[in-house]
Structure 1
Amino acid sequence: MPLPARRTPQAAFQHCLFLLLMLVTCAQEGAPPGGQPDTFAPYVVNVMPPDGTIRVATDTSPVITFNERIDLRSLVDAVFIVPLIPFKIKSNWDGDEITIEFEESLQKDKTYVITIGTTVRDRRNNRLTSAVVHAFSTGALIDQGEINGMVVMNQRPAVGAFMWAYNIRMKPSPDPAEIPPDYIVQTGEDGFFRFTNLSLESYRIFAFRDQGRDRRYDISRDPLGVPTRDVILSEEEISSGPLWFQLAVRDTVAMYVSATRVVHNRQVGIRFSKAADAETAADTDNYSIVDTEGGDTLEVLTAYRDMPDSTSITVLTAPQTLGRSYSLTLSNLRDYEGELIDSTGNTTRFTGSSREDTAPPELKTIWPANRARDVPLRPDIRFTFNEPVTMEDNAVSLVDTSDQIVAGTLAWTSPTTAVLRPDGNLVGNSQYTIHILINQIHNLADQQLQNSKSESDSISYLFSTVDTTEYGMISGLIADEDSTATGSINISISNISYRNNTYRTRIPSPGSYRFDELLPGRYTVYAYRDANQNGRFDFGAVAPFTPAERAIVYPDTIPVRSGWESEGIDLRIRP
């Protein structure tokens, strides 16, 4: 028998290299090169015990099988089990099957719900197209209670918000910052949520957006929604909804003075821990400045909340004495939510200055802006200055294309903001000019308005009014299912297609509403019942529990077209 031919060293090396490349290629995971990328969503093939199973053993370990390997990291924040019970997730070698191992025995005669959220993904980042909800019971029956509703924030659907439900028979005063819930779900892409398989009990539900992604409610940063009512499920009413939630950050710490700065010998700036209420900030009776040595009072001439920094207030005083120590106390000052300033943080000190006010006043903003288009026919022309100023009668004027002055009324809405309102409607699709005479506008130190654009003694701004043939309309009916409710209904619509222009109206009771003179675009519609008639939406409180005011957002955006009326946009406020 002939002996096999011997390989040369070079041939042996090439043979080994070939085998190594084959080994590496075969060991690689994922789709082979070439062809279409994997864009198919994973899905659940099987769950054991099956959905609806009763008399499940208290030591069971549910098994969930997917059609393909799952990214196990995506399961960490995607699997919810209620009632809450600690558990671990283990995977098989192929990664397409997980086992849920409970760290303690299940309760007897209890319905459990496993929810697998849409954040579960495969190795190609394809996600589940819809959540999987699976229920089983350790008793002879499966609970059938249901609660559904919607969560919004800034009048938009709140996607992925946590919904925490508490059995208030067992937890009569639930606080999501302190007490874990009995049931958990999340909102979907449309902001809607749905609890299923609830026991027939009384529930209080809170909504929040988990900014820290730690499955906990952080009162300092997570926007929270308080319910408009508690829910009672019974044999007669096994389901309830829709409930409605509006999210907002709840800052329960009272406002306090955080810093004080002397600008010059007639001006003091005060910074607060949160935004101040403009009305109480402008009341000079809320300020007391006393010389700490002699006890003399330093007069407060005017005060106002700064724009746009609503956490700062400017106080103008009589001339201060250089080096003198002053104590400033604020009383009856409220924050933007109407809460009083903290009585332990309402006093500050500053040292008097001899520095004169040498800076001229500035025009910070004007509306409409220069060369603005589609301005309404009855605009409020707003001038905002960096400090209080005085204007002579003809300091500002509005003229048309014929250089004729448009009659109007000038009013001050704050010490730094003036509004010029035309007495009648302007002409549509026309150009107008705002003239400002800088030598007729002075601050309290009698310094003339600064013209940063040129050395001219006047400033001019142009704008064009809207073409009224472009206008569309929105109309509809608002009903309230609570026949005993009182208070007007505040309605607002926002054009999300065009700079988020917002229009508001108020009707005294349920009935018809209508918005005319709307620019084309897509609009959101929002309404709430102002039960306490304070002119703003009240978000409610966790403790002591105060229900939020009832409100509603139209579920779809409304298209507005030129010359057309979008009618039948009806809203129903639930109890």
Structure 2
Amino acid sequence: MKRIFPILILAYVAYLVFTTSCANPGMPSGGDKDTIPPVVIKTEPGFNARMFQESEIRLTFNEFVITDELREALVVSPPLKKRPLIRSKSKTLIIDLGDDLRENTTYSLDFKDAIKDNNEKNPLEDFRFSFSTGADFDSLMIGGYVKNAQNLEPVEGALVMLHSLHEIDAFKDSIPDYIAKTDEEGFYIISNIAPGTYRLYAVLDADNSLTYNQELEQIAFVDSLIIPQDLNLPGYDTETNPEDTVSVSTKQKDALETPFFLMLFEEESFSQYLDNNKRDQANMLNLYFSESLSDSFQVELLQPEPSKEPWSYIEYNKTRDSLMIWLTDTVLSQQDTILMAIQYQVADSLNNLVMRHDTLDFFYKKPESTNNRRRRKKDDDKPEPIPHITFKNNLKGQGYDVYRNIVLETPEPLERFNWDAIQLVQQVDTLEETVEFEMWQDSLSKRKFYIHHPWEFEQTYRLKVDSAAAYNYSGHPSNEINQKFTIQEESHYAKIILAIGGLNEPGIVQLLDNSDEEKVLQEIRIKGDGEIEFPFLEPDKYKIRLVFDRNDNGKWDTGNLDEGLQPERVMYYSKILKLRSNFEVKEGWVLPMVQYEKELIDENKEKAKKKQSQRSGRRNF
């Protein structure tokens, strides 16, 4: 018995090890992921119901739904005086529209993609619901796209409005008859419209007023009156399965025969005011304005009295909405407080230009020295080192661009500058030979100077500027410049040759970098058809944009609602050009009159097809 007992224990332990090691410690998979959106199984009233006299809409789904985004996304057209109240009860969504529904009116509720199931957040996409408070059911509709007028990017969240009032002022002070909001593709659709003619507008409604009442709001409008299309939309295809589940699909984008494109722009406005003024440096006063300053801007020094004339130099930025007043009077710059009067143009309540007078107080306190160490006695007799000024420049040792001018810039204005102290030499074999160059001062900033020379590829040059060639108003001399640099090799660059046809008005062809900012790298003004070149390009990707410059002023101009003036049109070349070093690209760009809108239509149809394909893929999973 004593021998059998240990054998039984060992057998039991072996059994435990064997059975536990065979167990699967992982969690059960739970099956495939749910990708099916909520399904509407019942509505009160029914789809496209007539003679609806209640205020609550009830939508019952086959599962629990979340509505966190619905309060912002839901668009009711015609618009209501107050926002609907939204709540859930079990699997039923309840929308209380209030008591201001109009008689004999067809209403459309656009839920966008805001209704989602509670588990996987699958959205019920492009869901719309409509009903009528009378015996008739309006089924006319319009749709299209809202684009940014400058870059043709789709504008999401723009409010699109239909007005039965045909006066322009209706957009500014009247509630629209019908509204819609654009999706991420800039697409909008207004359905259930009554017969008639309408004005069509769009606005980025900053204050949710349903009107255009702020200068900084971006707007768009269609020139002519709009007649809605008779496509029997919203046109829901509804069918009921044995379980009474209602499935809904819309024909929205495919049914549009004539999409209306709205080009969003911001009108020019003039609201001038002094935004800020400061004195961070003893000899420099900064002023910042909301708008560009006219030539009528004036400055008057009140206190203290200057010791010499002129006592200042004014330097504007490129847009003339900020400026630096340099104090060239050194006695004046040493004063702690400076009192000054300025005059500039502003718009009064009638939008007339008048002069405004402001008195400004500038204070500056010299910072205390952080060096508290005592000077040694043997250093007491040594003179203080003379401060120097240093020129900044845009040179680099290798690969300096062949088309670039040398830029010299000082930190503050110069009282004098001896240009004869500048020398440019070219290295020829082992020797350096002096070469001629042109030099001029910037028209906006007297602190900036340009040096031009027809550089030769792969050649080495040296810029020499003697020390003390320039002095500032405090009498401080400039440091020496002795910098060697080599011009980029010709094979590094690429070139674009573009032949444009079909252009019968002035235009501006812009070469853009391939980024969201679309920085303008080069631009060429043209009068019509022809061939243009963009030379000396870095190996990179580029976009090309054409501005139809109707007034031939060399820049893109915005629109004006009161004058019925649309913003100037822009068009993008269909390709993004990828360039390599020592590479020349030749492209032809034909501009038929209908191509502008056709490109936009084709682009958005392609996006819609892709999105529909993605939806089908998810639902057939």
Regarding TM over 0.5, the answer is yes
Q: Which residue of 2 aligns with 1:439?
A: 468
* Residue pair 1:152, 1:246 contacting (<8 A) in 2 also: yes
Measure, in 1, the Cα distance between the counterparts of 2:345 and 2:228. Answer: 51
Measure, in 1, the Cα distance between the counterparts of 2:36 and 2:475. Answer: 71
- Cα RMSD of the aligned pairs, angstroms, is 5.1
- Within the candidate set 258, 270, 292, 2:286 is matched to 270
Measure, in 2, the Cα distance between the counterparts of 1:556 and 1:79. Answer: 36
1:80 aligns with 2:75: yes
Measure, in 2, the Cα distance between the counterparts of 1:198 and 1:151. Answer: 23
- Within the candidate set 484, 488, 506, 1:465 is matched to 488
1:103 offset after TM fit, Å?
0.8
* Residue pair 1:246, 1:539 contacting (<8 A) in 2 also: yes
Q: Are the structure 2 counterparts of residues 348 and 258 from structure 1 closer, same or farther at C-alpha, using a change threshold of 3 Å?
A: farther
1:420 offset after TM fit, Å?
3.3
Q: Are the structure 2 counterparts of residues 164 and 500 from structure 1 closer, same or farther at C-alpha, using a change threshold of 3 Å?
A: closer
Corresponding residue SS for 1:113? strand
1:40 offset after TM fit, Å?
2.8
Measure, in 2, the Cα distance between the counterparts of 1:67 and 1:401. Answer: 85
Q: Please list, as runs of the form range in 1=range in 2, the aligned pairs for 1:532-543 lying within 5 A after superposition.
A: 532-540=551-559
Q: Please list, as runs of the form range in 1=range in 2, the aligned pairs for 1:279-290 lying within 5 A after superposition.
A: 280=294, 286-290=297-301
Q: Given residue 537 of structure 1, which amino acid in structure 2 is its aligned partner?
A: W
- Within the candidate set 572, 585, 592, 1:565 is matched to 585
Unmatched 5+ residue regions in structure 1? 1-31, 451-456
Q: Please list, as runs of the form range in 1=range in 2, the aligned pairs for 1:56-455 lying within 5 A after superposition.
A: 57-59=52-54, 61-64=56-59, 68-85=63-80, 86=82, 87-94=84-91, 97-118=92-113, 120-123=115-118, 126=121, 128=123, 130-137=125-132, 138=134, 140-152=136-148, 155=151, 157-167=153-163, 169=165, 172-174=168-170, 181-196=176-191, 198=193, 200-208=196-204, 224-227=217-220, 229-234=222-227, 239=258, 241-246=260-265, 253-256=271-274, 258-261=276-279, 263-264=281-282, 267-274=283-290, 276=292, 280=294, 286-291=297-302, 299=310, 301-305=312-316, 311-316=322-327, 326-331=339-344, 343-344=355-356, 346-350=357-361, 360-363=388-391, 366-367=393-394, 370=396, 376-389=401-414, 390=417, 392-395=419-422, 397=424, 407-413=436-442, 414-416=444-446, 418=448, 420=450, 422-424=452-454, 426-427=456-457, 437=466, 439-449=468-478
Measure, in 2, the Cα distance between the counterparts of 1:516 and 1:82. Answer: 50
- Report how many residues are paired: 507
Q: Which residue of 2 aligns with 1:17?
A: none
* Residue pair 1:88, 1:100 contacting (<8 A) in 2 also: yes
- Within the candidate set 498, 502, 505, 2:520 is matched to 502
Unmatched 5+ residue regions in structure 2? 1-26, 231-256, 367-385, 598-621
Corresponding residue SS for 1:387? coil
Corresponding residue SS for 1:77? helix
* Residue pair 1:147, 1:240 contacting (<8 A) in 2 also: yes
Q: Are the structure 2 counterparts of residues 557 and 431 from structure 1 closer, same or farther at C-alpha, using a change threshold of 3 Å?
A: farther
Measure, in 2, the Cα distance between the counterparts of 1:123 and 1:513. Answer: 59
Q: Given residue 355 of structure 2, which amino acid in structure 1 is its aligned partner?
A: S
Q: Which residue of 1 aligns with 2:244?
A: none
1:464 offset after TM fit, Å?
5.7
1:495 offset after TM fit, Å?
1.4
TM-score after normalising by structure 2: 0.64
Q: Given residue 52 of structure 2, which amino acid in structure 1 is its aligned partner?
A: A
TM-score after normalising by structure 1: 0.68
**Segment of structure 1 superposing worse, 143-152 or 432-441:** 432-441
Q: Are the structure 2 counterparts of residues 438 and 510 from structure 1 closer, same or farther at C-alpha, using a change threshold of 3 Å?
A: same
Larger of the two Rg values belongs to structure? 2
1:550 offset after TM fit, Å?
1.9
Corresponding residue SS for 1:493? strand
Q: Given residue 490 of structure 1, which amino acid in structure 2 is its aligned partner?
A: I
Amino-acid identity (%): 13
1:72 offset after TM fit, Å?
1.7
Q: Are the structure 2 counterparts of residues 182 and 513 from structure 1 closer, same or farther at C-alpha, using a change threshold of 3 Å?
A: farther
Q: Given residue 441 of structure 1, which amino acid in structure 2 is its aligned partner?
A: A
**Segment of structure 1 superposing worse, 325-334 or 154-163:** 325-334
* Residue pair 1:58, 1:107 contacting (<8 A) in 2 also: no
Measure, in 2, the Cα distance between the counterparts of 1:217 and 1:381. Answer: 52
Deviations 1:537-557 (A, max 9, x none): 333456x56645222243866
* Residue pair 2:162, 2:201 contacting (<8 A) in 1 also: yes
Give the number of the structure whose residues are more often helix, by fraction.
Answer: 2
